[in-house]
Amino acid sequence: MAVAKVITDVSLDRGFDYLIPAELEGKIAVGMMVKVPFGRSFRDGYVLDLRETSDFKGQLKLVIGIAETRAHIPPDLVKLGRWMADYYCAGCEQAIRTLLPAAVRSGRVKPKLRKLYRVSDTATAQSYVACNSPKPSAAAKVEIVKCLLNGGELPADELKKRTAVFSQSGLNTLIRNHIIAAEDKQVRRDVFGDSTVMPGKPLTPTPDQAAALKLIYEMLDHKTKQHTLLLHGVTNSGKTEVYLQAIARALELGGSAIVLVPEISLTPQTVRRFRSRFGDRLSVLHSRLTDGERFDEWNRINSGEVSIAVGARSALFAPFRNLKLIIVDEEHESSYKQSEAPRYNARDVAVMRGMIEGACVILGSATPSAESLYNANSGKFLLARMASQVDDKLPPRITIYDKRRDPPPEPGKSSLFAPPLIEAVRDRMRRGEQSILFLNRRGFARVMVCEACAFEARCPDCSVPYTYSKVRGTLCCHLCGGVIPAYTECPQCGSDKIRYSGSGTEKIEAMASAAFHPARIARMDSDTMRSAADYETVLNRFRRGELDILIGTQMIAKGLHFPNVTLVGIINADQGLMMEDFRASERTFQLITQVIGRAGRGDIRGEVILQTMNPENVAIKYAATLDFDGFSAYDLEFRQMLGYPPFSHLIAVFFRGENEAAVAAYASETADQLRRYAHEGVTVAGPLPAPIERIKGKFRYLVTIRGNGLKLIREALRVIALHRTPPDGVDMYADVDALSLQ
C-alpha cells in the first residue's frame, strides 16, 4: 500500500503517515483533504506528500476517506506552504492554513441557494394561459405563467416586480398542478453589486511601456532565464497599462494572473480598471469581503471560472493551476508583510511561487525597495525603467517650507498651515481645482499633558501615550485598542490646565474647516474608513468634484488618479524620521514621493508644498527633487557600510511576558543557544528591551540576528521556537526578514 503524509490542525508542526486503502489507490493526491484517525478521535487533514514506504516503525493506520465536499489545495501551493513554514520559522499547519481562507477551510460556509421558478412544460403552460386568460379569478396565476414563459427561471421577488398582480398562494397552486416547477439552485454572492463599468481598450504603449512589455513578453515566452522583473516607473508613467497588457498576453497563452495591491483602499480603483478591460474574467480577494463572498470568489477561481484574481496580500494564494503571471504593485509597501505567523512577505513569497510554478513575476514601484533594487542591479531580476510620465507631463513644482522660521502662533491660532500653503489652497478653490492635505497620523492630538504637574496620559498596558480624539471625546491606544473618556482635569493633581500637543488628521480637518471656509472637506483615515463602501463613497465624491479638499493618511498617498488635483500639502514631512529604524529614511522618501505623485495628473501642472523642521535631511532633499537614484545611492552606501539588508539578512526574535525578569532571562538563554550556530559574519545581538517595551501588559525583549548564510541558525531558531517549551508566562516568535524592529 502507498503512504500519505497528512497534517492536521493540531499544532505539532509535523505530518503523520497513513496507509492508503486499496479502494482509494490512485484517487488521493497531494493537497487533498482527507479524514484520518488521530488518537481516539477522527480529524480532517491535508495530504503533504505521497510515498511508497514509511520511516515509521509501528503499525500505520488507514486513511478513512476523502473529504469530497471540502476544498482541496493545488499541489504547487502545498509545496509553497511547506517552504514558507521552513523559511519563516512557522508551524507547518500554520502555513498550510494560510493557503486557504477560513471561510473555505472551515467547511461552515455553504453555497448560497436560491429558489427559482420555471414552467414545467412549455406546451402545457401555453395551454393553461389560453384556457384561463378569460377568468378573472385566474388573473394572478396567468400573469405568473406568462412571465415565466418570457423570462425563463426567476426568483419570487423578481416575479413580483415583473407581474401586475402576484399571489403566493396562486404560485403554490401552479406548483401543485405541475404547471410551474421550483428548484433550489446555487447562486453566487456578487461582490460587485450593481456596479457597472464601461469596456476599455488597450492604449498605444509609450516607448518606455513598449520596452517594459518586450521584457515581460520574453519572460512569458521563456526566452530569458530570469522570471522576475522590477518595473521601476515614476508616478503617472503608466505602470497599470503595462500590467493590463501583460495580463492580456498571459491569458492569450492560456494562463491566469494574480494582481496584488498593498491597501484595501486601492482595490476598488484597481478592480474598476481591470474589469473595464477583462469583464467577468476577474475575481477579488481581500479581508473586507464577507465569509460568503470570500467562499464564492475562492471557488470561482478554484473551478476555473475566472482567470484573474485581484486583491491584497492573501490573494497571492489564489488556487490557479495554470498561473502565468503575478504582479505585485507598490512592491515596497510594508503592508505586504504579515504580522502574525507565518510572518511572510507577500512580495518575496510571490517570487518563490513564480519559481515553483514557472510563472513570471512583476514587481512594480515608483520607489522600489532597497532589496528589489539590489536584486535588479545584481542581475537576479530583470529591470525595466519608465522615467517619463504619460503625455510627457511636467513634474510638479515642489517647495520646501522651513517651519523653523515660523513666528510663534497668535493666541487661539494654529500654525499647522504655513502661509504659502494657506494661500495656495485658497487659490485652488477660486480656480475650481482640488487639493490634498497629507499627514500620516490619525486622531486629533498625539499626547495629553497637564501643564501644572507634567502628567502625561499614557496607556497603562503599553509604553506609548494615548491619542486624543476630539470628535469622540476619548483617549485611545493604537497598540492595544484601549479607550477611555478624555480627561477634563488632571487625574494626578486635579488641575484643569490640560494641554493636547501634536497633530493628527482629525485636527487637520478641524483647522482646515476654519481656515478654508466654506470649503467642502472630507477625511480618509482608518478612523473614518470602516468599509470598502466608505472608500468608494468619498473617492467618488472627490472624483465628481463634490469636494474641494481631501485630508488623509498614507491611504491617499498612492494609486489615486484625480486630474483636477493640482495641489498637495505635506503637513509634516519629518514624521517617521526619528524612529529607531535603519529603514526610517527609506520609508520617509518613499511616502513623500508617493504623495507628490498625486499632484498634477491632469492638464494643469501640479504644485507641492512640503512643510518640514529638517529641510537639510537627506531623504527630504532627495524626495523634493524626485531624485530616486541619488537617494538610493546614499541609502545603499549607508546600509553596506553597516551591514544592513540588502547586504545581509535580518531576523528579529521577540520575547514577551508579564514578568520582565523571566522574559529577559529566557531571551538571554536563547541568545546564548543561537550563538553556537553563528559562523563568522553572523551577529547575534541582544537581548535588549524592544523599542516599544510593553504592549498589552507584556514586557518585550529583542534579539537580532544579522548576516548571510543564515540557514543553519534559522533551522536552530525554528526548533527552539516551535519545539521547546518556554517558561510559564513567556512566549517567543521569530520575524525572518523583519521590516521593523518595533
Of 88, 196, 188, 300, give the one whose Cα is nearest residue 315: 300
Alpha helices in 553-659 (DSSP H): 584-596, 618-624, 628-642
* Close Cβ partners of 216 (under 8 Å, ≥ 6 residues apart): 229, 242, 246, 249, 360, 362, 384
For residue 516, what pLDDT is reported? 92
SS3 state of residue 15: coil
> Would you state the cell numbers that stand for residue 1, as one nine-digit string?
500500500
Give the residues of the chain that fall short of pLDDT 50.
none
For residue 322, what pLDDT is reported? 93
For residue 427, what pLDDT is reported? 94
For residue 265, what pLDDT is reported? 60
Distance CA 551, CA 556 (A): 8
Distance CA 330, CA 352 (A): 18
Pick the CATH number of 207-391 from 3.30.420.40, 3.90.230.10, 3.40.50.300, 3.90.1300.10: 3.40.50.300
Q: Fold identical between 207-391 and 397-444+503-638? A: yes
What is the CATH code of the structural domain delimited by 397-444+503-638?
3.40.50.300
Q: How many helices and strands, by DSSP H and E, does the chain display?
A: 21, 29
Give me the amino acid identity at 429.
Answer: M
For residue 559, what pLDDT is reported? 67
| Helix 75-87 / helix 346-357 crossing angle, nearest 10 deg | 140
Task: Please check whether residue 141 is in contact with residue 165, taking contact to mean a CB–CB distance below 8 angstroms.
Answer: no
Distance CA 630, CA 616 (A): 15
Task: Please check whether residue 508 is in contact with residue 553, taking contact to mean a CB–CB distance below 8 angstroms.
Answer: no
For residue 390, what pLDDT is reported? 77
For residue 414, what pLDDT is reported? 61
How many angstroms separate the Cα of 41 from the Cα of each of 8, 204, 645? 12, 62, 47
pTM of the model: 0.87
For residue 376, what pLDDT is reported? 95
> Would you state the cell numbers that stand for residue 47, as one nine-digit string?
495530504
Distance CA 406, CA 401 (A): 10
> Would you state the cell numbers that stand for residue 571, as one nine-digit string?
503637513
**pLDDT tens across 479-492, in order?**
888 999 998 889 89
List for the chain the helix, strand, coil content (%; round to 5). 35, 25, 40
**pLDDT tens across 166-193, in order?**
888 888 888 988 888 888 888 777 777 6
> Would you state the cell numbers that stand for residue 90, as one nine-digit string?
512557522
Q: Domain spans of the chain?
A: 3-100, 112-187, 207-391, 397-444+503-638, 649-736
What is the CATH code of the structural domain delimited by 649-736?
3.30.70.600
Pick the CATH number of 3-100 from 3.40.1440.60, 3.40.50.620, 3.30.300.30, 1.20.58.190: 3.40.1440.60
Task: Please check whether residue 433 is in contact with residue 604, taking contact to mean a CB–CB distance below 8 angstroms.
Answer: yes
